[in-house]
Structure formats: structure tokens, C-alpha cells
Amino acid sequence: MNRKDRKIERTEKIERTEKIERIAKIERIAKMQNESDFPSKTILIGFVTLAVLLAIGTAAICKTPEEAAYERAQAFRKAGDFDKAGIILLQLYRKHPQNAALLVELGEAYLNDDNEMAGGQLKAEQCFSKAIKIDPQFGKAYYMMTEWANAQGKYDLAIKMATKALTVKKPDYQAYMERAASYSRLRRDKDALADLDKFISLGSAKRNAYERRASILENMHQYERAHSDYLIMQKLHYDDGTALKEASCLEKLNKNQEAITCLTNLLKRNPEDDAGYEARGRIQVKLGRLKEAIADYTRAIQLIPSPTIYKERAAAYEKMGRKDLAAQDRKEAERI
């Protein structure tokens, strides 16, 4: 064997060793997983098999029927078709009645299925309760029970379940969000704010977390912090309604010119936003800019006439000394 052949043999040997190590690592990870961490043992085996096949470079890769069925259920869930997702998940659950994760996903499908109505709420609660009995350390089960309890108006139970979801061995930190909702409905804004602060500090918060916190901060008259959260939301995804809330905070902070700038930017993006014209008109009145205010109210009326805007424009006309036009607007407000 010449030097070149020996080099090729050593390279092939190294590649075989690396592949064996990758397969061994995948198998070790699989053994560490609890059954509840995946939809079913069969699906877990399917995932491991797929990974092994990829590691050794096998071309022909086939999914198990259960793995394919589970993927179809997930596709239906993402599409909002919880009825079809529930049918598939129920079939899988019947084959794996001790799988807590499948039970939770089935319960979630029932909870969100409009076709189930009240019956779906009952089925969902039964699924979550059974999942907790199967795996008392599965945080997602408690979290979904929290969501169910909030929907039923059982806020004390929701807080209890959320607390459990956060303290078990496999916690679900989304429970901070749901517990904050429970506290908020009980008018415990300080507790709600503490939960949202904690959840956002974890670093995985989405836009809705900032929206909830901003709303609570406004309730607590902490407009500066609320405004900061609205700015973060706008960077994540701009929204007209959020711009109106941002301007409202600025107005309450007596930063009226900044509020007008915010609303002007909104109206540049969407010239058909009647609420934007109305809000800007109101602030223009506060600054004594009556002509600009009347122009804004007039544009809002052209878009969507309402008694409120007519009355606001009437008040502006009154301040300008145009009692005749003010009387016409008040008459029109009564007519609508």
C-alpha cells in the first residue's frame, strides 16, 4: 500500500469514527428524554431514526405513519383548524393513553375548537387534569389548565395552576403571562406587573408581552414606562392602534408636540385612519391651534362621521366664536 492509499484509508477511518460518535450522541440524547417531552415513543423513535439515517448518509428516509400523522395535526393547528387537529391527536392518544404531552395537545385543540363550544371546554379540562395525574411534573399541563381556568373566570384557580406550572421540575415559563392576566382581572396590577417583568427578563418575550405590560403600566399611571414598551412593540412590528396608544401616553405626560408628531407619522402611513385625525385634533385644541384642529375633525368626519367628532368640532367652533357652525354640528350629532 502506497502513501496515497494509506492516507485515504486513514481519512475514511476518521469519517467512520465521527459518524459512529454522532449516532451514539443522538442515542444518548434520546434516552435522556422523558416520554412527555415528545408526542409519543413511536414518534421519538422516528425522530432518532431520521437523525441516524442522516448521520450515516442513507438516501432513503421514510417517516412512520404515526410521525406523519402527528405532523399533519401540527399543520392543522398552525392553520387554526383545531377540529381536524383534534381528530388526529385523539387517534394518536388512544394508541398512547399514558402520554401526557399528547393529552395536553388534544386538550388545547378542544379548548380552541369553535365547533366544540361548551363541550370542548369540558373535554379540555378533562385532558389537562388527566395529563397532570400522568405526569405531575409536566409544567405545560398546568399552564394549559391556567388558560382554561382564566377562560372560565376562575382566576384564583388559574393563579394556583400557574404557580404550579412555574415550580415543577419541568416548568413552563409562559405561565408568568397567564398568571399576570389572572392578577390583572383581579385588579392586582402590582402582582401582574411583577410577573410580566420576570417573563420579559427571561429574554424570549414577544410583542404581546410588552402590550400586556404597557396596558397595566397605564392602569398604574406609569406612562413613561408604558410609552417605552409601545416603542419596543413598534420596532418589532408597526401597528396603527399602538401608535394611538403611544400618542395617548405622550399626551398624558404633557408631551403634546411629541404626541402630534407621533400621530402625524401614523397618518402618513395610513391617511384613512379617522381615529388618528380625531386624536390629533383634540391635542391641537389643547395647544390652541383651532384651525388645525377643525381641519383634523373635518377629515375624520369625512372618513367616518360620528356624534362624538361632531361635538368635538362644535366645541372648537365655539372657541373660535363661530356659534352658528357649532350649533349646526351639535344638531348633526343629534341626528346621527
DSSP 267-327: HHH-TT-HHHHHHHHHHHHHTT-HHHHHHHHHHHHHHS--HHHHHHHHHHHHHHT-HHHHH
- Which superfamily does CATH assign the domain made up of 32-131 to? Tetratricopeptide repeat domain (1.25.40.10)
Contact 166, 140 (CB under 8 A): no
Question: What mean pLDDT value characterizes the chain?
Answer: 87
Q: Do domains 32-131 and 267-336 have the same CATH topology?
A: yes
Cα–Cα dist 278/276, whole Å: 5
Give rounded-to-5 percent helix, strand, coil for the chain. Answer: 80, 0, 20
List the domain boundaries for the chain: 32-131, 267-336
- What is the pLDDT, as a whole number, of residue 43? 47
Per-residue pLDDT tens for 148-182? Answer: 999 999 999 999 999 999 999 999 999 999 999 99
- What is the pLDDT, as a whole number, of residue 35? 45
Number of other residues whose CB lies within 10 A of the CB of residue 64: 16
Cα–Cα dist 147/138, whole Å: 15
Going through the chain in order, the beta strands assigned E by DSSP cover none
Between 68 and 7, residue with greater pLDDT: 68
Rounded to the nearest 5°, which phi and psi values hold at 153? 80, 15
Between 92 and 6, residue with greater pLDDT: 92
What percent of the chain lies above the pLDDT cut of 70? 81
Q: What is the mean pLDDT of residues 276-285?
A: 98
- Which superfamily does CATH assign the domain made up of 267-336 to? Tetratricopeptide repeat domain (1.25.40.10)
pLDDT at 244 over 80: yes
